Amino acid sequence: MIKHKFLYILLAAGLLLNTSCEKWLDVQPKSQVKVDELFETEAGFKEALAGVYTILTDKALYGRELTYGMMGVLSHEWTSYSTTYKDDGEYNYQSSLTKARVDAIWNNMYKAISNANMILENIDSKNVFTGDNKAIIKGEALALRAFAHFDLLRCFGVNYITNPNQKAIPYVEQYTSKQTKQYTVDEVLGKIITDLQQAEELLKVDPIFTGRTVTEVEDRGYLINRQLHLNYYAVKALMARVYLYKGDYQNAKAAALSVVNSNKFTFSTQKNIADKVDLSGAPEHIFALQINTLHQDAITHLTQSGSGPIFSLGASTAEAYFGAQFTNDYRYMYLLADGTQANATQKYTLKFSEPATNNSISYPEYYRQKMPIIKLAEMYFILAECAEHENTDPLQYMNKELTARGLTGLTSYADFRSLMTNEFRKEFLAEGQLFYYFKRTNQEHIPNYSENMVATKNYTFPIPDSEYEFADREPNK
């Protein structure tokens, strides 16, 4: 990571963190801003923070590959996808196309981390902030640094069950050109938790936590729609995810309960899903990224008429995913479209396809163009995992999600892991979480793939060659 004279604020044209930001987020796409100029104003810090979120929306990251693209192929949730992803599906990480995708994940994530570190390096020395904005911006920057490192760890580190002392990734805490130490899985998790704990303390002034009403007049609406930021509850939810990954069930449960018990997030209604007003479940998003090209991207990659690469699910496989009650499941009824003619055997997800209007009715912007990153359902799943570990009833949590999807709550189950795997696969289709789930639980065999994932070490991406050439890294698996 090279230290530059300029901080690069990569802002896609028209991509805003919320609909009220246009007046202050007024920079040219891919503009270069001098650091000493950028951080002379509060607006500059806001732009720098927006730049970090924008990097995360890149197609190399959550705009495609870490959601419905490469991650969907690696988890074999899709049964049909472009031949350009063939090697991904076979875990041939050294093939040119797959290697390029893996390296782009590494490079773009560390770019986001670098920009977050630049904010943190400058924020305490500046007296340019109004209200609670300094604490909130600093808290988000710390949370973003932790978030990016955690997903890098989930990609490039072995899982905690396998070997917590295996060398994994650098944890970069400074904006510097110096080589950063390569830490073990356990050490990286410790640093992630430390950053999240600091972020939690800073974000106790977050309006989503305090309940303070924010208007568009106040600070140009900067603190409106906190679900599009790593807000206080998103930090707690990320903590729950991290603690569960580490096998710390007590802390995972406490963090997940704090989110659920806040009553700040609700499951989408059947009517809104059926009316195509809310296909991605916006009220359920604890943290989402706004991607203003998402509707068009969904047409391009998730419909039979798209220009591709196209990802789809076989109709018979979809029915198998959703089980005997599939005709009652909202996700099957409303979020999957039938293919036609040559594609009649395929199903296509509608999750990211909310139109701007339908039958001349304009839909609220709140529901559109949102890529879910952390959702309410995951908190209930984490609580169910913790209950199972404690030998208490996990169905008290699983049934919250099941009934919200139109299904009848369960009174018993034969095997908890099978139940959770099946439900996880349905809930997070096209969201990129299934591969990480298989990895965390160290599943040797995953549906639709025959080889032993653990024996072949397919769950761990190779660190880019350049890291071995110029940064003296140790093997990560």
Encoded tokens for 467: 């890291």
pLDDT exceeds cutoff 80 at 15: no
Question: 26: which residues sit within 8 A by CB, 6+ positions away?
Answer: none
Encoded tokens for 442: 């160290």
The position carrying tokens 């959770």 is: 420
Average pLDDT for 130-152: 98
pLDDT digits (tens, 9 = 90+) for 447-464: 999 999 999 999 999 999
Alpha-carbon span 288 to 132, nearest angstrom: 22
Residue 359's pLDDT is 66
pLDDT exceeds cutoff 70 at 8: no
Encoded tokens for 121: 């390096």
pLDDT digits (tens, 9 = 90+) for 54-92: 999 999 999 999 999 999 999 999 999 999 999 999 999
Alpha-carbon span 447 to 122, nearest angstrom: 48
Residue 403's H or E segment, with its range, is helix 395-404
pLDDT exceeds cutoff 80 at 9: no
pLDDT exceeds cutoff 60 at 2: no
The whole-angstrom distance between residue 345's C-alpha and the CA centroid of its chain comes to 30
pLDDT digits (tens, 9 = 90+) for 215-260: 988 888 899 999 999 999 999 999 999 999 999 999 999 999 999 9
Q: What angle do CA 318, 320, 325 make, to 5 degrees?
A: 95
pLDDT digits (tens, 9 = 90+) for 346-368: 999 999 998 777 766 677 888 99
Alpha-carbon span 86 to 77, nearest angstrom: 14
Residue 1's pLDDT is 37
Alpha-carbon span 437 to 201, nearest angstrom: 29
Encoded tokens for 96: 């040119």
pLDDT digits (tens, 9 = 90+) for 248-296: 999 999 999 999 999 999 999 999 999 999 999 999 999 999 999 999 9
Contact (Cβ atoms closer than 8 angstroms) between residue 248 and residue 390: no
Q: Give residue 4's pLDDT band: very low, low, confident or very high (50, 70, 90).
A: very low
Residue 363's pLDDT is 75
Q: What is the mean pLDDT of the chain?
A: 91
Q: How many DSSP H helices and E strands does the chain contain? A: 19, 11
Alpha-carbon span 374 to 241, nearest angstrom: 9
The whole-model pTM stands at 0.93
Residue 342's pLDDT is 94
Around 156, how many Cα atoms within 13 Å sit in the side-chain half-sphere?
33
E strand map for 255-385: 285-290, 313-314, 336-338, 346-349, 357-358, 361-362, 370-375
Average pLDDT for 359-386: 91
Alpha-carbon span 436 to 421, nearest angstrom: 12
Question: 167: which residues sit within 8 A by CB, 6+ positions away?
Answer: 182, 183, 184, 473, 474, 475, 476
pLDDT exceeds cutoff 60 at 32: no
Alpha-carbon span 423 to 419, nearest angstrom: 6
pLDDT digits (tens, 9 = 90+) for 308-350: 999 999 999 999 999 888 889 999 999 999 999 999 999 999 9
Q: What angle do CA 288, 292, 116 make, to 5 degrees?
A: 55
Residue 278 buriedness (CB in 10 A; 0-12 / 13-18 / 19+): buried
Q: Give residue 441's pLDDT band: very low, low, confident or very high (50, 70, 90).
A: very high
Alpha-carbon span 51 to 8, nearest angstrom: 8
Give alpha helix (H) positions in 124-248.
133-156, 185-202, 207-210, 232-246
- The pLDDT > 90 percentage for the chain reads 84
Long-range contacts of 215-220 (CB under 8 A, 24+ apart): 216/20, 219/130, 219/131, 219/133, 220/20, 220/21, 220/23, 220/24
Q: Which residues pair with 208 in a beta bridge?
A: none
Average pLDDT for 6-33: 36
